[in-house]
C-alpha cells in the first residue's frame, strides 16, 4: 500500500516530464530521419560532409572544452579555500560566487562587450601602460565567448566542489603527512581523488551549459557561430526546421556522450569513492 502511495506521488511529475519533455524530444529526433516522407539519413550525411557545419561543431566543442578546463583550474583552489572557512565566511563567499548566476545573461554579456571591445576598458588599460601598441581583437571571437561562459559557469564548479570538499575529514591530510608525504603530495594523493565526484558533476554542468548556451555566444561571438546560434538561425531566420531538428539532435547526442564518458572516467579514477 505504501509503495502504491509513493508511485502515486511520482505520477504527476512523471506525466509532466513525459508530455512536455520526452514526447517533444522524441518527435524532434524522429523527424530528422524522414525526408519527403521516406526514411533517410540524408540530413546527417549533409551536415557531416559540409566543412562549414563541421567548423561550427568544432568551434563549439573547443569553446565548451576550454571553458570547462579553465573553470576547473580556477574553481578548484577557490573551492578548497572556501571549504576550510567557518560557516559565516563560507556563506558570504558562496553568495559572492553565486552572484553571476543571479545576473541577466544579457547584462553580463554587454558588460564584457564594454570591457573587451577595441576601445574597451581592457585595451585602454593595456595601451595606457604601454604593453600593446594596437588594440587587441578579442570581442566577437571564440576567446570572448569563453571569457563570458567562464564568468557564467564558474560558480557551478565552485558549488559542486565545496559540497564535496567540506565532507572530507581534515585528519586525512595529517595522516598522510605523518606517513612521510609532503603537503603537496598529500593534497594530490588524498584531496584530489576524493574530489573526483565534484569535478565530474561540475564539469558535466559546465560543458553541457557551454555547449547549449545561446545568449552569451550570440552577443560576444558576433558572426562567429556556435551550434546553438546556428540552430537559432536555421529555425527562426531561415525557417529550416528540418536542419534545426538535426542540429538539436546532434546536441542531445553529444550531451549524452559527454555524460557517459564523464561517468566512466569517474568510475575509473575513483571506483570506490576514496583515494587509493
The full DSSP string for 44-77 is HHHHHH-HHHHHHHHHHHHHHHHHHHHHHHHHHH
* Domain presence at residue 10: no
Domain of residue 206, residue span:
46-269
Please report, for the domain that includes residue 206, its CATH number: 1.10.3720.10
- All three cell numbers of 176, joined, read 598522510
**pTM of the complete model:** 0.86
* Domain presence at residue 3: no
The Cα angle at residue 213 between residues 210 and 219, in degrees rounded to 5: 115
* Domain presence at residue 6: no
* Domain presence at residue 16: no
* Domain presence at residue 111: yes
* Domain presence at residue 211: yes
* Domain presence at residue 151: yes
pLDDT in 10s for each residue of the chain, 276 residues = 566 777 778 888 889 999 988 898 898 888 888 877 788 888 889 889 989 999 999 999 999 999 999 999 999 999 988 988 888 888 898 888 888 788 888 888 899 999 998 888 888 888 888 888 888 888 899 999 999 999 999 999 999 999 888 887 777 777 777 777 777 777 787 778 888 888 898 999 999 999 999 999 999 988 888 999 999 999 888 888 889 999 999 999 999 998 888 888 877 766 555 443
Residues 143, 191: Cα–Cα separation, whole Å = 31
Residues 70, 150: Cα–Cα separation, whole Å = 7
* Domain presence at residue 24: no
Residues 215, 152: Cα–Cα separation, whole Å = 11
Count structural domains, the chain: 1
Residues 204, 198: Cα–Cα separation, whole Å = 10
Amino acid at each position: 500500500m505504501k509503495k502504491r502511495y509513493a508511485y502515486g506521488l511520482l505520477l504527476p511529475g512523471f506525466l509532466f516530464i513525459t508530455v512536455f519533455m520526452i514526447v517533444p524530444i522524441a518527435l524532434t529526433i524522429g523527424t530528422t530521419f524522414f525526408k519527403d516522407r521516406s526514411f533517410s539519413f540524408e540530413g546527417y550525411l549533409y551536415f557531416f560532409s559540409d566543412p562549414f557545419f563541421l567548423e561550427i561543431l568544432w568551434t563549439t566543442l573547443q569553446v565548451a572544452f576550454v571553458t570547462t578546463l579553465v573553470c576547473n583550474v580556477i574553481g578548484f583552489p577557490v573551492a578548497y579555500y572556501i571549504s576550510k572557512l567557518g560557516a559565516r565566511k563560507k556563506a558570504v563567499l558562496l553568495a559572492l560566487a553565486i552572484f553571476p548566476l543571479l545576473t541577466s545573461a544579457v547584462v553580463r554579456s554587454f558588460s564584457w562587450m564594454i570591457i573587451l571591445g577595441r576601445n574597451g576598458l581592457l585595451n585602454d588599460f593595456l595601451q595606457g601602460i604601454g604593453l600593446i601598441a594596437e588594440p587587441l581583437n578579442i570581442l566577437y571571437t571564440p576567446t570572448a565567448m569563453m571569457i563570458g561562459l567562464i564568468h557564467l559557469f564558474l560558480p557551478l564548479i565552485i558549488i559542486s566542489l565545496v559540497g564535496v570538499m567540506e565532507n572530507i575529514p581534515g585528519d586525512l591530510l595529517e595522516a598522510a603527512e605523518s606517513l612521510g608525504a609532503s603537503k603537496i603530495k598529500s593534497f594530490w594523493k588524498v584531496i584530489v581523488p576524493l574530489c573526483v565526484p565534484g569535478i565530474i558533476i561540475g564539469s558535466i554542468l559546465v560543458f553541457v551549459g557551454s555547449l547549449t548556451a545561446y545568449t552569451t555566444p550570440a552577443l560576444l561571438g558576433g558572426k562567429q557561430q556556435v551550434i546553438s546560434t546556428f540552430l537559432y538561425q536555421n529555425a527562426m531566420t531561415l525557417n529550416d526546421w528540418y536542419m534545426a531538428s538535426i542540429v538539436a539532435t546532434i546536441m542531445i547526442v553529444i550531451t549524452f556522450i559527454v555524460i557517459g564518458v564523464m561517468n566512466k572516467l569517474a568510475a575509473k579514477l575513483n571506483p570506490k569513492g576514496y583515494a587509493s
